[in-house]
Amino acid sequence: MNASKSCPAVPRGFTLVEMSLVIGILLALTGTSFVAHRKITDWQRGREASETLRAVYSAQRMFLADNPTVAVSAITTSNIVPYLPNRATTMPTVTSLTGTTLSIRVNVSPPVVNGGGSTTYDPSGKSNDSLWDVGE
């Protein structure tokens, strides 16, 4: 005697509300990852600028050690290039947050990223955080 109960077939699947919720969560996670990626890219550019400035600062100090009578305000890029690491033949540049190429002013100590004219480019807003500057 095998008496089996017959259940009505229950449809298995997602409701429209459940699907909308899942899509909403995926969109929120995707949006968050784009914002985080942009911040990481900005930080990487700042870190690269800092490393470049440190190399130029080191070259500037080596030049001044070899030429102690030269004033810092009289230093030019052609004075610094022979002292750059890895036998560089040109003065390194820095990429800004907007993607423009910026030069480095070597006639001040420590060197700074030239924001145009006599302004210093430092989007971090702090002169001692070691991003976009040599720091302390």
pLDDT in tens, the chain (136 residues): 565 666 666 667 778 888 899 999 999 999 888 888 888 888 888 889 889 999 999 999 999 999 999 999 999 999 999 999 988 899 999 998 888 999 999 999 889 998 877 788 888 888 778 778 886 6
In contact, 119 and 83? CB cutoff 8 Å: no
Domain boundaries, the chain: 16-113
Prediction pTM value: 0.74
Opening angle at CA 97, ends 73 and 106, nearest 5: 10
Compute the distance between CA of residue 18 and CA of residue 2 in angstroms, rounded to an integer. Answer: 39
Compute the distance between CA of residue 93 and CA of residue 32 in angstroms, rounded to an integer. Answer: 31
Q: What is the pLDDT of residue 136?
A: 62
128: which 2 tokens?
Answer: 């001692």
Compute the distance between CA of residue 136 and CA of residue 133 in angstroms, rounded to an integer. Answer: 9
Return the closest-CA partner of residue 101 out of 124, 80, 121, 87: 121
In contact, 102 and 113? CB cutoff 8 Å: yes
